[in-house]
Structure 1
């Protein structure tokens, strides 16, 4: 990918937008988190792993976040109702809002995220599955995957393994796909490929919403909040793929990668 862009100074009017949008967004997110945690106190002892109520809070917050930012949000295709997981390309921290806004999903994330201030709290509260790259924990993590998937949770992960500038889809790593080939899962599971496309505000760098490499989260957040005009995000839900139709994780990962890439604009499929 090209080098990260040099941050531009935020003008005075931009700081006003940062304050207005930032405070409103914080009230929405942390207010929603408080309501979610209170409801979870009742929901968890009654339903256990099942969450019939609280995901609606997450969806509401994420939809409203785009209104606060002033970003256009568009979707195409049907959300999968079958048992299984969702796989998408990864461009930005905005993916959390984008992919939660219309579909009830639970992210799969590296264990380090659980300790991040703010983001870690939100991730734990919304049911994120944290994975550790330690092979000694592979069996335990496999069991967690199976329990959550068989409970009807749609787990979402990013096979690229990192975020990008939004202009490319990186080769998919096949490691996490192996979980779906256990005897308990492969005959029941489906994968829905999802393509996420960010379009920059008029006149801005095409990579405006991309967050990658060593880019600072705080600086990128401020840039987005300060923008006088916003761009858009488009989510393409592709047809679900049956795990049983593939002999192994590598062929499944390669096919899903091809489908996700096909949903990008032609100039971003390279």
Structure 2
């Protein structure tokens, strides 16, 4: 999948002594909480998996704790609007940054659907695998195999979350939704029991910063972007808007469902 290029990223100013001090204490605190709790998660999972299989009654709460603490450490305000879906099904959202992982996990027990190459990324791949991320190849030829994986996880009452744009953006727009992954929800034994909840993630930059401050796209390096966020003297906010769930059976096909989801997500960003 080719990354979205978009406009040139905002210029990152030279860092002073204060910036490096913030990077040091925030980065250290975030690393201790993240990797310490995920080590605990792996230990608990050794007991949880043979007893409950795909069902995870304990470990998702560890993931939620890590993600909530991340915003406390970073100083980013986390706002939630709307009702979280209680029905069985999946969640779709716009994709603006690596921060989306923390943003969307902080309030809802979900499992991400990610492109296969993420599994091999240093650090991030390990985190993703340990929290139950489902890795797929975004290729139409693999659609049938993906459907089987989706069905298995959905029947275990997992709330799968995927980004239909297929790439990150600057967080200021919603790209057209790709429809391939929506096909899995139309399996005969799933379409009448599943709902899809569209979610809009809205980042507000720190005062005086470029509106796309939290956006991560194109050829931007992860390390550079992480340092920029850690160094920020003032932080902004992120708002998560849960839109009304859509019943899969109410739509004729995957294209109609994808379009309705895209319109809901786009309405939250434009508002």
Does TM-score exceed 0.5, indicating one fold?
Answer: yes
Cα distance, 1:139 vs structure 2: 2.9
| Counterpart residue number, 1:143 | 148
Which of 221, 231, 238 matches 1:233? 238
Cα distance, 1:199 vs structure 2: 0.2
The equivalences for 1:134-173 within 5 A come to: 134=139, 137-173=142-178
Cα distance, 1:185 vs structure 2: 1.2
Quick check: 1:41 aligned with 2:59? no
Cα distance, 1:141 vs structure 2: 2.1
Which of 194, 201, 219 matches 2:199? 194
Q: Secondary structure at the match of 1:264?
A: helix
Q: Secondary structure at the match of 1:234?
A: strand
Quick check: 1:253 aligned with 2:236? no
The equivalences for 1:41-120 within 5 A come to: 41-120=46-125
Rounded to whole Å, the distance in 1 between the matches of 2:71 and 2:143 is 37
Q: TM-score, normalised by structure 2?
A: 0.96
Q: TM-score, normalised by structure 1?
A: 0.96
Which of 207, 216, 232 matches 1:211? 216
Instruction: Give the aligned length.
Output: 266
Q: Secondary structure at the match of 1:133?
A: coil
Rounded to whole Å, the distance in 2 between the matches of 1:53 and 1:82 is 20
Rounded to whole Å, the distance in 2 between the matches of 1:225 and 1:52 is 32
Do the aligned residues in 1 keep the contact of 2:93 with 2:199 (CA within 8 Å)? yes
**Residues 95 and 111 (structure 1 numbering): CA distance in 2 closer, same or farther, change over 3 Å?**
same
Point out where structure 1 has 5 or more consecutive residues left out of the alignment: none
Do the aligned residues in 1 keep the contact of 2:79 with 2:240 (CA within 8 Å)? yes
Q: Give RMSD over aligned pairs.
A: 1.0
Cα distance, 1:140 vs structure 2: 2.7
| Counterpart residue number, 2:3 | none
Cα distance, 1:9 vs structure 2: 1.4
Cα distance, 1:4 vs structure 2: 1.8
Rounded to whole Å, the distance in 2 between the matches of 1:225 and 1:135 is 38
Rounded to whole Å, the distance in 2 between the matches of 1:50 and 1:144 is 15
- Deviations along 1:13-51, whole A, 9 cap, x unmatched? 100100000000000000010010000000000000000
Cα distance, 1:78 vs structure 2: 1.1
